[in-house]
Structure 1
């Protein structure tokens, strides 16, 4: 019986480095997804030339830099030389929208293998696990990230919560934007720190928060 080839896709470079250092999944094939799909524009055809150009502009890097940071670590995913995919992601909005993007790409590429999703906590411990099939996630990705609409049925629940947060967090009356407006007189650096502490369920980083603060204050 042929051995099951498992690929572990992690929620970013920090988790990848942590698992390497602690020898978790030692000997297993691990790759990081270095993106922030919850921020900025995108297009339907994931990882296409157009997608790369759009996402490079979002991150203020060249397409070559984007390919080096985001696409190069994903080569084992692109080669599809595995029969089982395991995802290790946080439950925050940031990670959930990244999960949706990966599932949608797999759906676009007619992936039929098994998928396990492990939701991890602050100390990278496993909190929840789900078994998934990719059918329908490409359509869901288009509804959410391209058309900014809420699908009727979303599985699993962490993804549902992440999508609901994503569709509203940039609205001027969202809790996040009201917080930024409330602290107009606080320095950018101090406000970024406050936001990271206060809104951990969004999972955004200093780069995204800085852009949001500056956009709010310019507007």
Structure 2
């Protein structure tokens, strides 16, 4: 853990925890959620950041000042750190982190060629079956994970970059056929994350995607006295998404018509019809500005029976 190490982490919680444990080296926090909104493959370019700001401004009402201060300044700091001999990536195995990880590796391929790059993830703990995030691991476990980090060779880096290019393309269909055929990949949780990603296109059955269906199923299954309770349950149960309260609040707001009340939480008549696949909400939810990576969300449908995507032709 020498000073010649640059740590790129999945969030402020991990960065602060590693600093508290006195991991030496420089730290960069990757403050993005590239699993949402439009992305382009040229990470860090003017076009890339323009698309990202437009998404955050439109979907989350984030001001330009906040976006620059919180995300872009940290990226500029990354650009200036060129002296470290090893770059260590700290990313969890959920969808949120795996997509961010792909983007970071793609950027490193372009701008840090020849550097030693290694990956730490929240996996392979000997003494627990729990899937805690990196920032939740105890000091011994996180030290063990660092010790057992995986060095990425050029083929690994090329593979991650290739998957990122497909994620940013205007069609997810090629991604559907490629992601599961690399058993030797050190990115052991990428296939699962991408499988979930493909299910984020609207279901052919009711027009909702896997995240939206999970929300109404969870709301119907439990008796919540508030929206906050519902969100907390989703965060605790749905580790594969890696979403926080901000993401779930945003989605629940878009599904407001499916709820008759949030105090307590109750589905409306329409919500129950959608839940039982008696009503398809695709037409009401369709938006031309909703993107998943480089693909328009509502230009494809997920067939739950065949587990395949269908392209909608106009």
TM-score, with normalisation over the residues of structure 2?
0.61
How far did residue 76 of structure 1 move?
4.3
Q: 1:107: which partner in 2? A: 109
Instruction: Quote the residue 1:34 is aligned against.
Output: 31
Q: Does 1:159 align with 2:190?
A: yes
Q: Could you list the per-position Cα deviations for residues 132-154 of structure 1 after superposition, in whole angstroms to 9, with x for gaps in the alignment?
A: 13224333212024343333445
Give me the whole-angstrom Cα distance separating, in 2, the residues matched to 1:170 and 1:205: 20
Match of 1:191 among 230, 247, 254: 230
Partner in structure 1 of residue 14 of structure 2 = 15
1:166-186 CA-to-partner distances (Å, cap 9, x unmatched) read 222353465533222332796
Q: Deviations over 1:74-112 (max 9, x none)?
A: 334313333311011211111111101101112233622
Distance in 1, matches of 2:66 and 2:46, equals: 14
Match of 1:73, SS state, is helix
- Give yes or no for the alignment of 1:130 onto 2:130: no
Task: State yes or no: 1:92 paired with 2:131.
Answer: no
What residue is the counterpart of 2:200 in the other structure? 169
Distance 1:175 1:113, change over 3 A: same
> Partner of 1:119 in structure 2?
121
1:144 aligns with 2:146: no
Structure 2 counterpart SS, 1:135: helix
Measure, in 1, the Cα distance between the counterparts of 2:20 and 2:150. 26
Instruction: Go from structure 1 to structure 2 and tell me whether the alpha carbon gap of 1:179 and 1:136 turns closer, same or farther (over 3 Å shift).
Output: closer
Mark the structure with the bigger radius of gyration. 2
CA contact (8 A) 2:199 2:210 kept: no
Provide the C-alpha distance between the structure 1 equivalents of 2:15 and 2:212, rounded to a whole number of angstroms: 31
Q: Say whether 1:205 aligns with 2:205.
A: no
Q: Which runs of 4+ in 1 moved over 4 A?
A: 184-187
- The answer on whether the counterparts of 2:4 and 2:83 sit within 8 Å (CA) in structure 1 is yes
Task: Count residues with an aligned counterpart.
Answer: 215
Deviation for aligned residue 1:34 = 1.0
Residue from 216, 230, 237 that aligns with 1:181: 216
2:308: which partner in 1?
none
TM-score, with length taken from structure 1: 0.84
